[in-house]
Structure 1
Amino acid sequence: MTEDAPAPDQATGAPHPRETKQLFGQVAAEQEFLAAFNSERLHHGWLLTGPRGTGKATLAWRIAKFLLATPPRDDDGLFGAPPPVHTLDIDPDHPVSHRILAGAEPGLAAITRTVNEQGRLRSEIVVDDIRKLSRFFGMTSADGGRRVVIVDSADEMNVSAANALLKMLEEPPARTTLLLISHQPSRLLPTIRSRCRTLRLKPLSPEDMRLALTQAGAEMPDQADHLAALAEGSVGNAVRLINLGGLEIYAELTRILESLPRLDRQRALALAEAAAQRGAKEQFELLLNLIDVALSRLALTGATGASPIPEAAPNEAEILVRLSGTPQQARKWAEVAATVTARMRHGQAVNLDPTALVLDTVFKIQETAGQNR
């Protein structure tokens, strides 16, 4: 892994979650955790779920900082129990804040994918990553303070790692809180899910998205509504779209849809060749995702009788309604979406020529548009 590459738990172009100063749009999740803390029945395992890029990792680091900087409520002291706490905010000058920013907090362990013997980032969290926690618990057990473990993301654990973590959830060390970040909780062992309390984060509103992007140092584009529609309430998605020119790619894809069923072949070829350029792997993957989005929005338009709001590209609503104006047409688009997605992912897995893969996908979409006339 190169030195300038983002960490496994960091979105490209965004600050690391431990450096994020504010969490926007997730007041309900924060208050749910604080209610449990104030009740003195704090669960030892928490599963933070919700769409990617909605702040799950940021919330996990906020909770970790809060727990490590806040004395346990059973340490009542001379004047009885302290009053209820109403915020997770911790003074940035607090020693715990400084240690966490420096990566030197002894009461915190962050589990992510690690590099292998060849120096390459693994595709999953392996059992040795989880077993390191035994040493962490042993080193910090003497001081009697809190300990916090963040697993980002729990979805990336292989079977052996998941089973090792399950044992810790079944017999958690004293004063330890495990925070599991999950984008797809259905991929986790049912026994892991059953031993955790769930905090669900919701997609961000356009205003919260704007605030979060400003904090991340990303410049909000002029087409803010288009970005909000494509990002689907995810700051991570929004940053990726901004950095990779996603709005322009989707607008071009929409113009190709506008030409159907005749198909503007020159425009389709230009889009395919741009995605296949050397060093454009991320743009290629983004294009495949945006094709998924376009097909989903076509199916939704026909099923509901109205195009999604807000638009994700100029004149998108008119184009979607023309191509998918009935439930019958919606079913066709839903079927082709499943077929096309499977073909694209298979082609990607076996390293098919990107240009040919994109064009094959566009021709399949053209065929469906002709059948839907």
Structure 2
Amino acid sequence: MSLFGHQAEVETFREAVLSDRLHHAWLLTGPEGVGKGTFARAAALWMLARAAGPEPVGAGFEVDPQHRVAHLFEAGSHPDFRMLARLTKDKLEELARSISIDQVRTLQPMFATSPSLSARRVVLIDAVDDLERSGANALLKNLEEPPTGTIFLLVSHAPGRLLPTIRSRCRLLRFSTLEDADSARVLRAALPESDSGEITTLTAIAQGAPGQALRFAGLDIAGLDRAIDRIAREGDATGLQRLALAKQLSGKAAQARYEAFLERAPGRIAAAAREGGDIEGKVALWTQARGIADGAVRLSMDPQTTVFEVAGLLAKLAG
């Protein structure tokens, strides 16, 4: 399991484990897409392998892929590990809005018994922000009276939204964005068939959160950005550029690029505002563009009309 960057966080956690002063619950916070979930999975595997033996050697959370625990973990059949995340709810694999209380309740039979392979058990929730209120209350009971040997790893992108009583029972471990070099390594590992140009583009988009950039893979974001930038710099008095882009981004086959446009176009207006010059006017354009983009997919707005309208706001930057 590849984990890039976050050396300080790894050392903090390892030190706690090796000193036998390991807190029973850890709240892993930071921007979405920086690798908190990957860190948690790697830490869970390392702890379980260490507890069951033979103890992993080497730095960080390295575990030999041939380790008996690694086989069970990767197969999703380790009896002392549970991961809770939003489930898919239909054939289109759309994720449910939350982690339900029923999912939290599935932990109780496991807690009623002793760990199977060692004295250690790990529960990972990614992300704990997604818990239903009733599920959060059920989890709180386990945090208040933690089952023997159980470590909770709670990933959170927005810890301020959590119950204060959950936060107070956890040790906080903060994650920052990655350096570009580490972001590029994450993207290369996740997208081995992508060329260097796409990796460079996605690294720039990631801004230290490569998990956020993965959804843009294979969409020729560089080409899309060039089209957006041209309209923003040159304007589009005839409307032909906007019409061409609108046609390219309409239809089911173009849905992913259309959604990428809805994210990238307001960002281009925001970048222009940061450059100065009529900041108030540019902020007004950004507000309009962001409002359209936020509701476009949810309200099933016509993609061609939507792209033409948002591109028209981009064109006003040139005027």
- Relative to the length of structure 1, the TM-score reads 0.76
Structure 2 residue aligned with 1:104, among 74, 77, 84?
A: 77
Matched, 1:158 2:107: no
Alignment of structure 1 residues 42-191 onto 2, 5 Å:
42-71=22-51, 87-116=60-89, 121-141=95-115, 145-191=119-165
Take 1:238 and 1:40, find their aligned partners in 2: how far apart are those partners?
Answer: 38
Helix, strand or coil at the partner of 2:112 = helix
C-alpha deviations, 1:234-286, integer Å up to 9, x for none?
Answer: 222333323222222112111111222x4562222222222221233322221
- Could you tell me which amino acid in structure 1 is paired with residue 300 of structure 2? N
Where does residue 210 of structure 2 map in the other structure? 235
Take 1:26 and 1:173, find their aligned partners in 2: how far apart are those partners?
Answer: 29
Helix, strand or coil at the partner of 2:252 = coil
Matched, 1:356 2:305: yes
Where does residue 278 of structure 1 map in the other structure? 252
Take 2:94 and 2:208, find their aligned partners in 1: how far apart are those partners?
Answer: 32
CA contact (8 A) 2:184 2:200 kept: no
Q: Structure 2 vs 1, CA of residues 263 and 109 (structure 1 numbering), >3 Å: closer, same or farther?
A: farther
Matched, 1:201 2:175: yes
- Could you tell me which amino acid in structure 2 is paired with residue 89 of structure 1? E
Helix, strand or coil at the partner of 2:107 = helix
C-alpha deviations, 1:156-194, integer Å up to 9, x for none?
Answer: 222222222222222221211111122233333333223
Matched, 1:35 2:15: yes
Take 2:130 and 2:34, find their aligned partners in 1: how far apart are those partners?
Answer: 18
C-alpha deviations, 1:113-162, integer Å up to 9, x for none?
Answer: 22459896422211101111112222445776211011112222222222
Structure 1 residue aligned with 2:241, among 267, 274, 280?
A: 267
- Could you tell me which amino acid in structure 2 is paired with residue 219 of structure 1? S
Alignment of structure 1 residues 202-221 onto 2, 5 Å:
202-216=176-190, 217-221=192-196
Shift of 1:231: 1.7
Take 1:186 and 1:299, find their aligned partners in 2: how far apart are those partners?
Answer: 29
Take 2:271 and 2:113, find their aligned partners in 1: how far apart are those partners?
Answer: 52
Take 1:292 and 1:113, find their aligned partners in 2: how far apart are those partners?
Answer: 29
Q: Structure 2 vs 1, CA of residues 139 and 271 (structure 1 numbering), >3 Å: closer, same or farther?
A: farther
Helix, strand or coil at the partner of 1:299 = helix
Helix, strand or coil at the partner of 2:123 = strand
CA contact (8 A) 2:265 2:314 kept: no
Structure 1 residue aligned with 2:233, among 258, 281, 289?
A: 258
Deviates more, 1:206-215 or 1:88-97: 206-215
Helix, strand or coil at the partner of 1:214 = helix
Deviates more, 1:23-32 or 1:36-45: 36-45
Helix, strand or coil at the partner of 1:243 = coil
Matched, 1:347 2:296: yes
- Could you tell me which amino acid in structure 1 is paired with residue 2 of structure 2? Q
Q: Structure 2 vs 1, CA of residues 300 and 36 (structure 1 numbering), >3 Å: closer, same or farther?
A: farther
Q: Structure 2 vs 1, CA of residues 340 and 191 (structure 1 numbering), >3 Å: closer, same or farther?
A: farther
Shift of 1:212: 2.0
Helix, strand or coil at the partner of 2:296 = helix
C-alpha deviations, 1:10-33, integer Å up to 9, x for none?
Answer: xxxxxxxxxxx3211111111121
C-alpha deviations, 1:280-301, integer Å up to 9, x for none?
Answer: 3322221111123212322222
Shift of 1:354: 1.5
Q: Percent identity?
A: 33
Helix, strand or coil at the partner of 2:218 = helix
Take 2:179 and 2:207, find their aligned partners in 1: how far apart are those partners?
Answer: 9
RMSD over equivalenced CA pairs, Å:
2.7
Gaps of 5+ in 1: 1-20, 73-81, 303-325
Take 2:15 and 2:123, find their aligned partners in 1: how far apart are those partners?
Answer: 20
Gaps of 5+ in 2: none
Deviates more, 1:175-184 or 1:109-118: 109-118
Take 1:244 and 1:188, find their aligned partners in 2: how far apart are those partners?
Answer: 35
Deviates more, 1:212-221 or 1:170-179: 212-221
Where does residue 281 of structure 2 map in the other structure? 332
Q: Structure 2 vs 1, CA of residues 228 and 86 (structure 1 numbering), >3 Å: closer, same or farther?
A: closer
Q: Structure 2 vs 1, CA of residues 195 and 228 (structure 1 numbering), >3 Å: closer, same or farther?
A: same
- Could you tell me which amino acid in structure 1 is paired with residue 75 of structure 2? A
Q: Which of structure 1's runs of 4+ aligned residues deviate more than 6 A?
A: 117-120
